[in-house]
Amino acid sequence: MNRIPLIDRASAPASVAGTLDAIHGAFGATPNMFRTVAQSPAALNALWGFFGALGNGGSIDTQLGEKIAVAVANRNDCHYCLAAHTALGRKAGASAAEMGAAQTGQSDDPRTAAALAFALKLVEARGQVSEADVQALRSAGFSDGQVVEIVAHVALNLFTNYVNVAFAVPVDFPSVALRR
């Protein structure tokens, strides 16, 4: 059972209603994670802004962003984000096998593999990466701006993982098994 009540759009305060409407429009539903975060208008607006900035204004493609998300979710045992981002990755054109491999930081594409390895190192080492780690991304073809965006994707997913795990948010996407 979730530890923080879900905000229902019908009874949502005006301070979050517009954002919940935008989220509903984007997803065709209002995912439980957003309904939980809606307890704080500031947190909801920050979260939705972060998603929008990376999704609409970033240079990391959607599939890679979703693969980073499943790798981070798998590492943090976040069933909610694993399910949500697997579905979103599939919607973006990634195969089930690609999304499954991404859970453990694997990819047949060397560029994607480099990004996933870096993302998981960021999580494991709590940001303590080396110049060689950053250089490995550059060598894989990422610009410095894209390296920063990979860190931003990891940070966003840490936030959402922590929300979903800490508050036991009910998963409202098709379940996906964790991989070790």
Q: How wide is the angle at C-alpha 64 spanned by C-alphas 60 and 66, nearest 5°?
A: 115
149-163, pLDDT tens digit by residue? 999 999 999 999 999
> Looking at residues 101-130, what average pLDDT do you find?
98
Distance CA 25, CA 52 (A): 13
Distance CA 113, CA 110 (A): 5
Say yes or no to pLDDT of 9 above 90: no
Mean of pLDDT over the chain: 97
Q: Band of the pLDDT at 2, cuts 50, 70, 90?
A: confident
> Looking at residues 172-177, what average pLDDT do you find?
96
50-84, pLDDT tens digit by residue? 999 999 889 999 999 999 999 999 999 999 999 99
Closest by CA position to 79, among listed 2, 9, 147, 170: 170
Residues of the chain with CATH 1.20.1290.10: 62-166
Amino acid at 137: L
**Tokens linked to 105:** 């930081």
Say yes or no to pLDDT of 1 above 80: no
What are the phi and psi torsion angles at 7 (to 5°)? -85, 125
pTM comes to: 0.96
Q: How much is the pLDDT for 86?
A: 98
Superfamily of the domain at 62-166: AhpD-like (1.20.1290.10)
| Residues of the chain above pLDDT 90, percent | 95
